[in-house]
Amino acid sequence: MENKLLIAKNISKSFSGVQALKNVDITINKGEVHCLVGENGSGKSTLIKIVAGVVTPDEGEIVINGNFYKKLGAIDSIKEGIQVIYQDLSLFPLLSVAENISLNQLVEEGRKVINWDEIRKLAEKELKKINIKLNLEEKVENLSMANKQIVAIVRALTQDAKLIIMDEPTSALTKTEVDSLFSIILDLKQRGISTLFISHKLSEVLEISDKVTVLRDGNKVGEFEEKELDNEKLIFHMTGKTINESTFKYDKEKFKEKPILEVKELTKADHFRNVSFELKAGEIFGLTGLLGSGRTELALSLFGLNPPESGDIIVDGKKKKIKSPKDAIKCGIGYLPEDRYRQGLFLHQSIGDNIIVTIIKKVLTLFGLISESKKIKQIEKWSSELKIKAASLFDPVESLSGGNQQRVVLAKWLATNPKIFILDGPTVAIDIASKAEIHKMIRDLAEQGIGIILISDEISEVLHNCNRIGLMEKGEIKEIINPLKYSENQIYNKINKKN
């Protein structure tokens, strides 16, 4: 019993009639790395908020360090040593590292007057505990994402954290940064500090956790030892179905041999150099590599947002200068950006307006004004084609789920009738079931004769959905491989230079 840090029993919670959690249990031991997984809407965030005392459950009881709580408040939770690191990290970007680390502690102590020496010493001491050096005077906004995360973790440690809850901490980190985050988590574990880790990336879940609790639709599916699980089992528990990853086959006979896109010796200093490849109609060409390997930079160049310094882009046998997205669209190129919230969509605008934004010229009347009837026709056509599920097409895009939002981005580009479609991370932060549907859609597009460039850092995604894969490293395509000849692990090792 002493080993139990947190026991939450029979937790139920509903929000205005919608049951978010039903009789869910979770137990976290001291020094344990516990993962909480589940699809969007499975109740993960509600459970975290209940443990943090921010949300009060309708039913259930919580025991922390042997203390029983019928109604756990946020202050109780902090006093018991529970610290939540939210996805936005809750830092103060324009204040120094030292102040960011120490401020919460000083607020908690109820200080009135500040001693800057003490702030620095406190920050230094806590950083030393996890053997990390940061410039204490640096403003937090100038730090890398990984260092910001470290500041947030160290801040949690200043408040005597016994359990640190991390909400998707790895989504903005590179592979190396994830590794160093994991070593910090393991270090905390050594010191008896538990971590509750929430992630969408299953390989990470399997790598770091001792125990995994799976939620689905507000119910607890089960608590598993890490040893009992593998990728497929985890997917099955999360979705309730098995998802078959078949392999994409390129139909050579169906399309002409001549490439629709040729890239020759494309170079931009510090971004990529001597990149050459070709793309035929009906192909799905994968591009993978570590974050910072130049994949996105290259994609942006093809779409005119990051003009290259030298080299040629040849579309349909003709050399093209692509200096802006306008040029790219004229060449029949579409681009689905990695960050759909900021770059792919107008979140507050309606679903319909988002779909027709690329083809406004096609829905004009004779006088150059927008024709409502032509507009509706296009919107209906594309939303039914892509099976966008929405209560009304006049609702803002932000009201849709991630999967449906991505369909809107796909729709808006397909409306332009592209010959070449660049997809950068098309399934980032999309739950597993919708992911499979989007993969199917991409393959269908290829079958219709669109040439697709699929960029992803998920190796299984490119492995199953591409007929050729370019491996990028430090701005160069090192190798173009046939996915049929490699396993996921072999590609992983190639990218990470482990032989």
Partner 1 sequence: MLKKIPKTNEMYLIIVIIIYSIIVTMVNKSFMSVENVFDILRSGTGQAILGVGVLIVLLSGGIDVSFTAIAISSGYIAVRAIMALGIDSLLLAFVISCTVGLVFGAINGIIIAYFKIPTLIATLGTLNLFHGLLLTIVGTRSVNAAQMPKCFINFGAAKIFTLTTARGSTIGLSVFIIPLIAVILFTWFLLKYTMLGRSIYAIGNSTESALRAGINVVKTQLFLYCYVGFINGIMGVITVSEVRWVNPVYLVGTELTVIAAVVIGGVKLTGGSGTITGALLGVGLITILNSTLVLLGLSSSWMDLFVGAIMIISIGYTSYQRKIENQRLLNFM
Note the residues at the interface with partner 1 (CB under 8 A): 78, 86, 88, 90-95, 99, 103-104, 106-108, 111-116, 137-139, 142, 296-297, 300, 305-306, 342-343
Question: Could you tell me which of 125, 154, 123 has the C-alpha nearest to residue 136?
Answer: 123
- For residues 100 and 213, which CB has a smaller minimum distance to partner 1 in the complex? 100
Q: What are phi and psi of 433, to 5 degrees?
A: -65, -45
Tokens of 392: 């009304």
- For residues 107 and 186, which CB has a smaller minimum distance to partner 1 in the complex? 107
- Rounded to the nearest whole angstrom, what is the least distance from the CB of residue 332 to partner 1 in the complex? 22
SS3 477: strand
The tally of CA atoms less than 13 A away on the side-chain side of residue 194 is 22
- For residues 296 and 465, which CB has a smaller minimum distance to partner 1 in the complex? 296
- For residues 160 and 316, which CB has a smaller minimum distance to partner 1 in the complex? 160
- For residues 183 and 343, which CB has a smaller minimum distance to partner 1 in the complex? 343
Contact between 268 and 288 under an 8 Å Cβ cutoff? The reply is no
- Rounded to the nearest whole angstrom, what is the least distance from the CB of residue 396 to partner 1 in the complex? 20
Q: What are phi and psi of 150, to 5 degrees?
A: -60, -40
Relative to beta strand 4-15, strand 18-29 is: antiparallel
- Rounded to the nearest whole angstrom, what is the least distance from the CB of residue 77 to partner 1 in the complex? 12
Relative to beta strand 468-473, strand 4-15 is: unpaired
- For residues 342 and 361, which CB has a smaller minimum distance to partner 1 in the complex? 342
- For residues 117 and 257, which CB has a smaller minimum distance to partner 1 in the complex? 117
- Rounded to the nearest whole angstrom, what is the least distance from the CB of residue 75 to partner 1 in the complex? 8
Residue 64: which residues within 8 A CB-CB, separation 6 or more?
A: 5, 6, 7, 72, 77, 80, 82
SS3 156: helix
- For residues 118 and 232, which CB has a smaller minimum distance to partner 1 in the complex? 118
- Rounded to the nearest whole angstrom, what is the least distance from the CB of residue 111 to partner 1 in the complex? 5
Tokens 């039913």 correspond to 59
Rounded to the nearest 5 degrees, what angle is found at the Cα of 159, between the Cα atoms of 153 and 163? 65
- 198: β partners: 36, 167
- For residues 103 and 477, which CB has a smaller minimum distance to partner 1 in the complex? 103
- Rounded to the nearest whole angstrom, what is the least distance from the CB of residue 73 to partner 1 in the complex? 12
Residue type, 347: L
Query: In angstroms, rounded to a whole number, what is the distance separating the alpha carbons of residues 422 and 67?
Result: 55
Query: In angstroms, rounded to a whole number, what is the distance separating the alpha carbons of residues 282 and 386?
Result: 19
- Rounded to the nearest whole angstrom, what is the least distance from the CB of residue 114 to partner 1 in the complex? 5
Tokens of 364: 């004009």
- For residues 106 and 235, which CB has a smaller minimum distance to partner 1 in the complex? 106
- For residues 115 and 365, which CB has a smaller minimum distance to partner 1 in the complex? 115
- Rounded to the nearest whole angstrom, what is the least distance from the CB of residue 353 to partner 1 in the complex? 20
Residue 469: which residues within 8 A CB-CB, separation 6 or more?
A: 285, 286, 287, 288, 462, 463, 480, 481, 482, 483, 491
- Rounded to the nearest whole angstrom, what is the least distance from the CB of residue 104 to partner 1 in the complex? 4
DSSP per-residue letters across 34-55: EEEE--TTSSHHHHHHHHTTSS
**Cα 481 → chain centroid:** 26
- Rounded to the nearest whole angstrom, what is the least distance from the CB of residue 329 to partner 1 in the complex? 16
DSSP per-residue letters across 239-294: HSS----------TTTS-SS-SEEEEEEEETTTEEEEEEEE-TT-EEEEEESTTSS
SS3 312: strand
- Rounded to the nearest whole angstrom, what is the least distance from the CB of residue 374 to partner 1 in the complex? 30
